[in-house]
């Protein structure tokens, strides 16, 4: 069994991004990311702070817009409209979830597709479906990048994704399909879940429940990718996979923390670099 080191893959990709950002700067093009956060969600604050640190690390400018909880949809749309027209800003990221009174769909749809570095806008999700994307959804793209780094073959393999969210499950299935995997998507209504997951050569868990994936759900020698970010009873960060019991059945497994997490931000930086190049 080999542990997939998301930090190591991340460092390699960030080195390449840093060089490219520097080259752009030498040609007179700086790269800027606007990061919007609304309200006081502690987890969101940590994510946003890590995204800003990531920018710094690769030589990008980050501009934070921390708005109060009571911000209206209209106020947020006004800010996004301003950023859409601001040439210093190559990418716009609005941290989700937004407070409940804000219309999330309208907000996502208002970000100019060429600045939508999360790839959440319907225009970009459509491009992903067809396979002619310029931005890839960060978490799924990070997972594909890790698999490639470890020379793990996707083509022809049974790939099972647990979870069907717009951010992870659905685009993950699409990217595995584009890499010629045979893809099954499971969700809360799936019958006989462990019969399906036991077929998986590559299993991606994006459920949001600690220890959801147990050893009896794993085929011997499977590659297990854990997207979960949960807190257990002791408040410790843990994934969706019962790591201790599952690891010995796997050929490869991602830990939490230190697996998928670092890659997600790295792919955001990669999308911002793409946006910057397109914006020259
Ligand atoms: N909330 C959870 N994941 C993400 C993400 O990838 N991007 C944004 N903007 N918000 C999130």
State pLDDT tens for residues 49-92: 999 999 999 999 999 999 999 999 999 999 999 999 999 999 99
Whose C-alpha lies nearest to ligand 1, atom 11?
96
What is the whole-number distance in angstroms between the Cα of residue 152 and the centre of ligand 1?
Answer: 26
Q: What are 134-172's pLDDT values in tens digits? A: 899 999 999 999 999 999 999 999 999 999 999 999 999
What is the whole-number distance in angstroms between the Cα of residue 233 and the centre of ligand 1?
Answer: 24
Please say if the pLDDT value at position 210 is more than 90. yes
What is the whole-number distance in angstroms between the Cα of residue 7 and the centre of ligand 1?
Answer: 19
pLDDT at residue 156 in the model: 98
Rg (CA), the chain: 19
pLDDT at residue 275 in the model: 98
pLDDT at residue 20 in the model: 98
Whose C-alpha lies nearest to ligand 1, atom 1?
96
Token pair in block for residue 48: 């946003």
Best mutation site among 96, 105, 125, 208 for ligand 1, i.e. most ligand atoms within 8 A of its Cβ? Answer: 96
For 76-123, list the strands marked E by DSSP: 91-94
Q: What are 179-204's pLDDT values in tens digits? A: 999 999 999 999 999 999 999 999 99
Please say if the pLDDT value at position 276 is more than 90. yes
- β 250-253/222-226 pair status: parallel
For residue 217, give every residue at least 6 positions away whose Cβ sits within 8 Å of its Cβ, in sequence order, or none. Answer: 193, 194, 197, 198, 203
Confidence at 232, pLDDT banded by 50, 70, 90: confident
Please say if the pLDDT value at position 233 is more than 90. no
> How far apart are alpha carbons 268 and 50 in whole angstroms?
11
pLDDT at residue 214 in the model: 98
Instruction: Establish how many alpha carbons lie within 13 A of residue 78's alpha carbon, considering only the half-sphere containing its beta carbon.
Output: 6
What is the whole-number distance in angstroms between the Cα of residue 252 and the centre of ligand 1?
Answer: 26
Active site residues: 51, 95, 118
The CB of 266 under 6 Å from ligand 1? The reply is: no
The CB of 116 under 6 Å from ligand 1? The reply is: no
Of 229, 255, 187, 240, nearest to 47 by C-alpha is 229
- pTM recorded for the entire structure: 0.96
Best mutation site among 62, 91, 95, 171 for ligand 1, i.e. most ligand atoms within 8 A of its Cβ? Answer: 95
């Amino acid at each position: 069994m080999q542990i997939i080191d998301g930090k190591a893959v991340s460092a390699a990709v960030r080195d390449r991004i840093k060089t490219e950002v520097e080259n752009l700067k030498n040609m007179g093009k700086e790269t800027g990311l606007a990061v919007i956060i609304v309200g006081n969600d502690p987890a969101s604050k940590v994510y946003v702070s890590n995204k800003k640190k990531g920018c710094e690390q690769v030589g990008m400018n980050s501009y934070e817009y921390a708005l109060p909880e009571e911000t209206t949809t209209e106020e947020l749309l006004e800010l996004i409209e301003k950023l859409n027209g601001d040439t210093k800003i190559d990418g716009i990221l609005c941290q989700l979830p937004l407070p409940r009174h804000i219309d999330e769909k309208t907000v996502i749809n208002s970000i100019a597709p060429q600045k939508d570095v999360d790839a959440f806008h319907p225009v970009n999700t459509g491009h992903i479906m067809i396979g002619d994307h310029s931005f890839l959804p960060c978490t799924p793209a990070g997972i594909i990048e890790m698999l490639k780094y470890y020379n793990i073959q996707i083509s022809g393999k049974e790939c099972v994704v647990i979870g069907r969210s717009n951010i992870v499950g659905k685009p993950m299935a699409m990217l595995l399909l584009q890499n010629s995997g045979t893809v099954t998507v499971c969700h809360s209504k799936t019958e006989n879940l462990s019969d399906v997951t036991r077929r998986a050569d590559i299993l991606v868990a994006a459920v949001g429940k600690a220890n959801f994936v147990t050893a009896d759900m794993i085929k011997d020698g499977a590659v297990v990718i854990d997207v979960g970010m949960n807190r257990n009873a002791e408040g410790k960060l843990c994934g969706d996979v019962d790591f201790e019991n599952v690891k010995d059945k796997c050929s490869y497994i991602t830990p939490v923390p230190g697996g998928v997490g670092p890659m997600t931000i790295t792919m955001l930086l990669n999308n911002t670099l793409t946006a910057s190049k397109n914006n020259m």
